[in-house]
A and B are shown apart, each in its own frame.
Chain A
């Protein structure tokens, strides 16, 4: 379990002091995939890096499995870091070394026997799917493969926690998906707690069970990912740039369909019951891990608006009125 309590951190430059993390308190449970999300400059990377003390904090405390990390120094800090893996946006693997040598690095530094290193490296290569590439140099690999090397290396010493600092931001969507699948597999099979820093909506939806939304160093909201999306959380809105093109006449209503009901039956039933017409502007389905959620925007005339709202109020559907079609 990772517990942040009133964590504060400022960066001092010559002319001004920037508050990178402003009084953040947060608990991350064992075994979950947790997302730290926000726009660039929100402090999410900094917050992640305080966990393994790549960044020191100014005040507050961070307890990782009961250990106050800011008190660790020297060898104790290095031993602590061995239990916390980390991967990065630009992979940060050694260009001059082969895949094998890269994965073996932490083991060699721990003075493992050659035979044990060999066995462990092959085992890790198996997990990340790089068995064929062990003798390749990184420049022969694709971005996704490089990240797999980094993941294998980070897992070498059986860490309990894996920190992902924008780990998929430099990858294309398909590769991103495959890396996320690997992370989910690692989370499930090895029981490793994974904390993901990202600004990619797809990553949040696909992998994160819970997320914390940060803005300008402040913690705006923490919660289950699907709940936050469904409640059309205003904090989440700051993240999504949605170009919603909607009609300028009449009233536009956005409907969120929760897990328990499906879209079409409600819409068609409403049309029958109210005996009124409305147009469907657009709708989409979104996948949250295993769950599918839908949103739909409908356009109704001014005179029917109150009836529709009243009708929808009696259902499970969450309703949001979109102001002004010409925004």
Chain B
């Protein structure tokens, strides 16, 4: 495959589907992941016995999903995807396992960022008479923002990596293109084009991530 054919006929379509599935996943994953991460943070710090049990349960579920090899998770979740009324073997269907994998991943990253927030600042906020909700939203999450941005950047790059497995359910992405057109059809050039595109994409994501990090710090 010539570079010209790749650019004119394939690049646009596969880049777009990749960005779309990863983008939607990140959006849902970041929102739910932030809530999950905050919940892990709050329950972890609580002194109440039953809340500590709740943390253990939550943490176990998160660990369980995270330890599933993604390739297997895709197939395990096929019935669930159909239950949601989506076509399992499609681009939109692939978003489901990708999101399910992203939520605990991002959740754990957010939890880690929140724990790093100086306990003294939390104490000062308490002494100012802020409510627990205000402490989380106005102090802890804001103070953790640079670290969260780094974490989200890392998550996005991981998701781009995961998207390569979309070929497993017949969905299209740059990764699946590299596999199908490159590996399977012995077209080394096609594989290099796709991999090259992913490399540029990842570098771009990292650069933008670093820029936002500097902005919020």
Contact = CB atoms under 8 A, between A and B. Distances in A.
The answer to whether A and B come from one shared complex is: yes
Nearest to A78: B129
Contacts of B129: 78-82, 106, 157
Interface stretch (A88-96, A121-129, A187-195, A231-239): A88-96
Contact of B143 (A84, A94, A150): A94
Contacts of A96: 142-143, 145-146, 216-217
Nearest to B217: A96
Interface in A61-116: 75, 78-82, 84-86, 88, 90-97, 105-106, 108-109
A154 B216 contact: no
Contacts of B125: 105
A141 interface: no
B210 interface: no
A52 B143 contact: no
Contacts of B118: 90, 92, 95
A15 to B, nearest CB: 19
A85 B216 CA distance: 28
Interface residues of A, number: 29
A81 B121 CA distance: 15
Given A80-B129, A81-B129, A154-B128, A92 B142 contact: no
A54 B134 contact: no
B53 interface: no
A84 B121 contact: no
A327 B15 CA distance: 82
Among B125, B127, B131, B146, the most chain A Cβ lie within 10 Å of the Cβ of: B127
A158 to B, nearest CB: 13
A90 B146 CA distance: 21
Contacts of A88: 120, 123-124
B216 to A, nearest CB: 7
B138 interface: yes
Interface magnitude class on chain B: 20 to 34
A153 B134 CA distance: 16
A109 B134 contact: yes
B126 interface: yes
B130 interface: yes
Contacts of B121: 92-94
Interface string B93-137: 000000000000000000000000010110111111111001000
Given A95-B143, A109-B134, A109-B138, A81 B124 contact: no
A183 to B, nearest CB: 17
A40 B86 CA distance: 64
A163 B146 CA distance: 31
Interface string B133-164: 01000110011011000000000000000000
Interface of A: 52, 54, 75, 78-82, 84-86, 88, 90-97, 105-106, 108-109, 150, 153-154, 157, 163
16 contacts: A80-B129, A81-B126, A82-B128, A82-B129, A84-B127, A85-B127, A88-B120, A91-B120, A92-B124, A96-B142, A96-B145, A97-B142, A105-B130, A106-B129, A150-B124, A153-B124
